[in-house]
Amino acid sequence: MQPFVAVIPAKDEAERIAATVQAVRSIPDVAAVVVVDDGSSDATGDLARTAGADVVRHPRNRGKAAALTTGAAYAMERGHGDLPLLFVDADLEASAARLGVLVPPVADGRADLTIATLPPQKTAGGGRGFVVRLARNGIQRLTGFEAQQPLSGMRCLDRAAYDAAQPLARGWGVETAMTIDVLRAGLTVLEVPCELHHRVTGSDWRGQVHRAKQYRDVWLALARRRLRR
């Protein structure tokens, strides 16, 4: 498998980040694991470094898109600009070891962007699918692509796809916007089943606030891309 660089945006993930980093480091041919500590108030960065990651810290929280951009820039500055980037959610823990399946289609030229599709999670989430439907329908209307899991954050992309997605959309709209921008650039997107498990958002008030922010950011990403048609 071609070498790749893993980028893990993380905020207040002290309970899970070490296991996630160790799992990603176990994937064959990983050239570097870069954790972007996005303004954590806990020991996320220290634990990631101890687990073997390169750590870049944002003094304050800047959001997922900024963390991904910082991680990619770090990889490029260290001579890895030609390698595929593997974006990894920080809460996957041991299941992150299975992410290697996303790399070969990009490495051998079958796809410019691969997206992990996840099985049913061990714990059911508290959402009703509003954000997923918004993202899926928006992507299909703008590109014709039918995404199974449009919000999946586990992605591998080559340099052409990364450049096509610039600048990354703010907040939780980053995945939806990335898919649209890559497809509109004439590049290839492929969804790949992957046995991953992560923390799901519950149905309490914090979960509802999180989903409201997701909906807002996805809606904004779609609205801006409708204007570019």
In percent, how much of the chain has pLDDT > 70?
90
- Rounded CA-CA distance 147/130 in Å is 15
The answer to whether 18 and 51 have CB atoms below 8 angstroms apart is: yes
The answer to whether 86 and 99 have CB atoms below 8 angstroms apart is: yes
Domain span at residue 63 reads 4-226
Number of structural domains in the chain: 1
Average model confidence (pLDDT) across the chain: 92
Q: In which band, very low, low, confident or very high, does the pLDDT at 211 lie, cut at 50, 70 and 90?
A: confident
Residue 121 has pLDDT above 60, yes or no: no
Q: Domain of 56: which CATH number?
A: 3.90.550.10
Token duo for residue 59: 């003094």
The answer to whether 31 and 138 have CB atoms below 8 angstroms apart is: no
Q: In which band, very low, low, confident or very high, does the pLDDT at 48 lie, cut at 50, 70 and 90?
A: very high
- Rounded CA-CA distance 10/143 in Å is 30
How high is the pLDDT of residue 199? 64
Residue 137 has pLDDT above 70, yes or no: yes
- Rounded CA-CA distance 210/224 in Å is 21
How high is the pLDDT of residue 129? 81
